[in-house]
Amino acid sequence: MTEEITHSNWKLRKGQIIAAKQMTASEKWFDIKLDDGRLDHEPGQFVQVELYGIGEAPISVCSSPTKRGSFELTVRAAGRLTKAMHALGKGDWVGIRGPFGKPFPVKLMTGNDLLFVAGGLGIAPLRSLINYVVDNRREFGKVDILLGCKTPKDMLFGDEVSGWQKRLDVNFSCTVDRSDPDWKGNVGLITGLIPGVTINPEKTFSVVVGPPIMYKFVIAELLKKGIPERQIILSLERHMKCGMGKCGHCQIDHPKNYYCCKDGPTFTYEEVKAAKKL
């Protein structure tokens, strides 16, 4: 007896790509509009993107919920699905499930100073929060943004980054691992930028997003600055296949049984410091 499940959580929302742009050699940006209304996400959440016949992949939403008509994704061609997605452009349709995951704790952060630390593609999920903060600037204290990337060519959201650079209500620093002749900024690891930031540790929330290797070193610097463990916020990467805390792929080796898709992807350092790997 075959029964239709109208309320299945596996059903896909339909999103149409309304703009797309190749940002770097390996990253492409997409602006997507759902045909059934708003995504209604919060900063730090992710969606499952389905390319019919190819499969699904979890992608962080990189736009702020303050942008209402559509949402944006930045996709690195890393796996089968994301490579295929790079062939898509304006007018193409994708399936969307979500938004999923625990967002950044915006309410807790309100009224505090913020120190954003983004490494590489980590800027994508962090941008949803940075733009949210910029759009609600008066709700927060001092805002510092530290950005690190491999080379100047790998810099994402270049126009927007120079916008942050120009603002007087945001302190912005950037560094690259390897310079090129046109680069006039810092060269070196992102950890080198942290000691130079003046902070009041008691009332500072630091939000760190980057590759696993970056966390270890950045967190050590932040702790040295005296920022409490519960005020260091991370977004962890795992392969979140179902997004509903069931399939098991994104479970973190941690005594608390965290599923990255449901209990995360955002965690305080205090919550996840017992994990075997961040």
Buried b (16+ CB within 10 A) or exposed e, 105-131: bbeebeebbbbbbbbbbbbbbbbbbbb
- The reply on whether position 154 binds another protein by CB under 8 A is no
Segment near another protein (CB under 8 A); pick from 2-10, 135-143, 196-204, 223-231: 2-10
- The reply on whether position 216 binds another protein by CB under 8 A is no
Within 99-128, the residues that bind another protein by CB under 8 A are: 102
Query: Smallest gap, in angstroms, from Cβ of residue 119 to another protein?
Result: 13
Task: Choose between 23 and 84: whose C-beta lies nearer to another protein.
Answer: 84
- The reply on whether position 150 binds another protein by CB under 8 A is no
Task: Choose between 181 and 248: whose C-beta lies nearer to another protein.
Answer: 248
Instruction: Please identify which residue in 135, 224, 246, 270 interacts with another protein, judged by CB under 8 A.
Output: 246
> Token digits for 267?
């965690």
- The reply on whether position 90 binds another protein by CB under 8 A is no
Instruction: Please identify which residue in 112, 142, 247, 273 interacts with another protein, judged by CB under 8 A.
Output: 247
Contact 172, 164 (CB under 8 A): yes
- The reply on whether position 273 binds another protein by CB under 8 A is no
Give the Å distances, CA to CA, from 29 to 35, 104, 105, 130, 226.
Answer: 20, 22, 26, 17, 37
Q: How far apart are CA 154 and CA 143, in angstroms?
A: 24
Query: Smallest gap, in angstroms, from Cβ of residue 187 to another protein?
Result: 24
Contact 161, 172 (CB under 8 A): yes
Q: How far apart are CA 114 and CA 25, in angstroms?
A: 31
Instruction: Please identify which residue in 33, 55, 88, 217 interacts with another protein, judged by CB under 8 A.
Output: 55
As a residue count, the chain comes to 278
Cβ-proximal residues to 149 (8 Å cutoff; 6+ apart), any chain: 119, 120, 123, 155, 156, 174, 176, 177
- The reply on whether position 53 binds another protein by CB under 8 A is yes
Q: In the complex, which residues of this chain contact another protein (CB under 8 A)?
A: 1-12, 14, 16, 35, 50, 52-57, 76, 78-79, 82, 93, 95, 102, 211-212, 237-239, 241-242, 244-249, 251-253, 255-257, 262-263, 276-277
